[in-house]
Amino acid sequence: MLVRHVRSRKAAVRMAAFLPPESAFTVDFFFMKNSAFLCDVVVVECADEYSIAKRMRKLKYFFRIIMVAAAALCCSCGNGESGARDSAAVLENGSSEESEYGGTGRQEIGANRYVDTAMGTVIQQTVYASEETAADFYVKSMALLKELEEERLSWRLETSEVWRINGTAGNEEGCGISEETAGVLRDCVELYERSDGAFDVTLGALTRLWNIDKWAAGGLDDGEADGFRLPSSADVEHALKLCGSDKIRLAAAGLGEGEPRVFLPEGMGLDLGAVGKGLAQSGLQGLLEAEEGVAGAVISLGGSILTFGDKPDGSPWKVGIVNPFDTSSNVGTLSLKGQWCVSTSGDYERYVEKDGVRYHHILDPHTGYPAVSDVRGVTILAKNGTLSDGLSTACFLLGPERGMELAEEYEVEVLFVMSDGQIVMSEGMETYFTEF
């Protein structure tokens, strides 16, 4: 049993933004095992005037933060055997990396910060509102994300719609689904058609064969990475036959009664991983709109960013776009005002390296293998989260020429970081993007 040790003070310092200002701390290292993140050595010092009770409360808070920090650290460890990395991050002043969700941000008046985990990723929120309103929103938002994962999206949990749909593949009577899920599937099938089959949410058989969700858990440690099994071409061929959004059949609800139904052929499995965070962004957006008293908010879901409203000082939200060649830095920032969804797909986000070959998590539905592309990362800027998330995956596969056309059709902005380091973007994106 081997555990992987990760060292990064920078990431730990970033997380310090979430600590009470009086806390001083050092973090020696974290380790990760089977996606449970454990903190190995932590030393905390609080200012003297703090009572023991307050200190204990802060320690509890601190340890919670550290658990999440460990997740973030593991996610940011892109140089090892395998890894997962957030693709965009909220910058507090947009000029330096060390400001990323930290440093100066703490002094913002009315900024309520929360960090937690949901949907297998780190959720960071800054909500400009009264403490009470922000806390209320935070609780509701975490419940929404939990529900989205457990009741709708997870293909592993028996409680979810996707699990039920996959379980009824091949049944003549299909599976009754919610209007929301029917709407998502319709949008996904449309994107499949408009992306010439590049974007395909029926790749369940393939993503399971490649074991992609294991990579998503923050990377495999050395021992497990050694256990990574390259699927045989026969297995890939076989799984490929069980994929194809053109084989899904959707039936609308009957007039005034019943529910929509979906019919999958036997052996087919849905994997909504490419739109999961986008759906979460859309859900949170609705929640923010309904919550009275939130002036502005910025929420990062493992690198997918949702901005809402305004900062009290009127300055724009700064969203950094990760440099795929050095994931501890950014290629530039987006300056955004009001409500936006930013999604990025890249070959550095989840991958396994084996015998010098990098296998990443975006599969080409035409071959069944990780897409071979001149693109390292694609960022989409859109008003709608699901669209933004789906299109970032689709455009990664399509490349800049065709991807740009698709983005234009959907009226969103797109930015490509190419494998030669070049940045290619839509005209509209130039308004928001500043290159470092």
Q: Which residues sit at the interface with ligand AMP, rule CB under 6 A?
A: 198-201, 203, 207, 212, 271, 273-274, 345, 349, 361-363, 365, 389, 392-393, 397
> Nearest approach, Cβ of 372 to ligand AMP (angstroms)?
13
Residue 199 binds which of Mg ion, ligand AMP, none (CB < 5-8 A, kind-dependent): ligand AMP
349 counts as binding Mg ion under rule CB under 5 A? no
Instruction: State the DSSP code for 363.
Output: B
Give the residue, chosen from 212, 389, 403, 424, that forms a contact with Mg ion under the rule CB under 5 A. Answer: 389
Measured from each CB, the residue nearest to Mg ion is 393
Which residue number, 91 or 279, has a Cβ lying nearer to ligand AMP?
279
Contacts of 399 (CB under 8 A, 6+ apart): 373, 374, 375, 416
Sheet holding 24-33, edge to edge: 4-6, 24-33, 36-45
Which residue number, 100 or 200, has a Cβ lying nearer to ligand AMP?
200
Contacts of 300 (CB under 8 A, 6+ apart): 86, 88, 89, 90, 101, 122, 123, 124, 125, 306
Which residue number, 23 or 281, has a Cβ lying nearer to Mg ion?
281
Residue 6 binds which of Mg ion, ligand AMP, none (CB < 5-8 A, kind-dependent): none
> Nearest approach, Cβ of 321 to ligand AMP (angstroms)?
15
Which residue number, 332 or 365, has a Cβ lying nearer to ligand AMP?
365
Q: Give, in order, the Cα–Cα distances in Å from 250 to each of 118, 204, 232, 261.
A: 30, 18, 33, 6
Contacts of 367 (CB under 8 A, 6+ apart): 236, 240
145 counts as binding Mg ion under rule CB under 5 A? no
Binders in 314-343 for Mg ion, by CB under 5 A: none
Q: Which stretch binds Mg ion (CB under 5 A): 27-35, 67-75, 267-275, 317-325?
A: 267-275
> Nearest approach, Cβ of 299 to ligand AMP (angstroms)?
17
> Nearest approach, Cβ of 214 to ligand AMP (angstroms)?
11
Q: Which stretch binds Mg ion (CB under 5 A): 94-102, 174-182, 190-198, 389-397?
A: 389-397
Measured from each CB, the residue nearest to ligand AMP is 273
Cα gap 433→436, rounded to integer Å: 10
Cα gap 144→73, rounded to integer Å: 25
Binders in 282-301 for Mg ion, by CB under 5 A: none
Residue 23 binds which of Mg ion, ligand AMP, none (CB < 5-8 A, kind-dependent): none
Which residue number, 102 or 365, has a Cβ lying nearer to ligand AMP?
365
User: Torsion over CA of 274, 279, 285 and 291, rounded to 10 degrees?
Assistant: -140
Judge whether 298 and 232 are in contact, CB under 8 Å: no
Which residue number, 11 or 272, has a Cβ lying nearer to Mg ion?
272
Nearest in space to 84 (alpha carbons), one of 343, 348, 342, 328: 348
Cα gap 296→128, rounded to integer Å: 5
Residue 181 binds which of Mg ion, ligand AMP, none (CB < 5-8 A, kind-dependent): none
393 counts as binding Mg ion under rule CB under 5 A? yes
Cα gap 436→420, rounded to integer Å: 16
Dihedrals phi, psi of 310, to nearest 5 degrees = -130, 160
Which residue number, 242 or 397, has a Cβ lying nearer to Mg ion?
397
Which residue number, 111 or 417, has a Cβ lying nearer to Mg ion?
417
Which residue number, 129 or 415, has a Cβ lying nearer to ligand AMP?
415
Helix axes 131-147, 276-290, angle to 10 degrees: 140
Q: Coil, strand or helix: which one is 34?
A: coil
Instruction: State the DSSP code for 420.
Output: T
Give the residue, chosen from 160, 307, 392, 426, that forms a contact with Mg ion under the rule CB under 5 A. Answer: 392
Judge whether 400 and 416 are in contact, CB under 8 Å: yes
Q: Which stretch binds Mg ion (CB under 5 A): 219-227, 261-269, 285-293, 392-400?
A: 392-400
Amino acid at 276: G
Number of residues binding to Mg ion, judged by CB under 5 A: 4
Binding site for Mg ion (CB under 5 A): 274, 389, 392-393
